[in-house]
Amino acid sequence: MGKRILLIQGHPDPCPDHLCHALAEAYASGAKAAGHELRTTTVAQLDFPLLRNEHEWEKGALPDALRKAQDDIFWAQHMVIFFPLWLGDMPALFKGFLEQVARPGFAFAADRPLVKKLLAGRSARVVVTMGMPALLYRLYFRAHSIKSLKRNVLSFVGIRPVRQTLIGMVGRAEPGVVSDWALRMEDMGREGK
């Protein structure tokens, strides 16, 4: 039996010409071919406000545009998150999406001093494209934004293991390199990883 997989496209530009979109499509193709159930959330197509204070986050109503996204996160056994590295981090729109959907009462319950992880039992893969060499980002910058996403968001709410795929030099990538990455994504989709 296949997994229930949610693809979260975190690229803030809905234009399908970006590598993040091609990689997500390749993953989806492999997952469907292997019989996995698949849903997709495309952050750039959602209309929601940014949170501006703690009260809104804790007590405010979830925007209607994000209800399906929360339902899909709850439904999923595995999530695959795609986004480009912008100024060394995830794009602001994607961060705003995470702040909205990972609210107390849905993603975690804060029963001080402990935190109950309400999304436990799910796994994730984070796929990040970047202009710099991925090895430079991993070694020199220590992949700080990926570590932060993993530790401060995904693991905090119980999502683990969290695997990562970093794809560098995308602005200069030859067509053969892009094809190789698409094939790798398709294989990961088949495996549900």
pLDDT beneath 70: ranges in the chain: 112
Look at residue 16 in the predicted model and tell me its pLDDT.
Answer: 86
Look at residue 167 in the predicted model and tell me its pLDDT.
Answer: 96
d(CA 83, CA 130): 9
Adjacent-strand bridge partners of 59: none
Look at residue 177 in the predicted model and tell me its pLDDT.
Answer: 87
Query: Count of alpha carbons within 13 Å of 119, Cβ hemisphere only?
Result: 31
**Token pair of 75 as six digits:** 């439904």
The CATH number of 4-191 is: 3.40.50.360
Contacts of 153 (CB under 8 A, 6+ apart): 98, 102
Look at residue 112 in the predicted model and tell me its pLDDT.
Answer: 67
DSSP string, 77-127: SEEEEEEE-BTTB--HHHHHHHHHHS-BTTTEEEETTEEEETTTT-EEEEE
d(CA 28, CA 39): 9
pTM to 2 decimal places: 0.95
Q: Does residue 84 have a cis peptide bond before it, meaning omega lies within 30 degrees of 0? A: no
3-state secondary structure of 17: coil
Ranges of each domain in the chain = 4-191
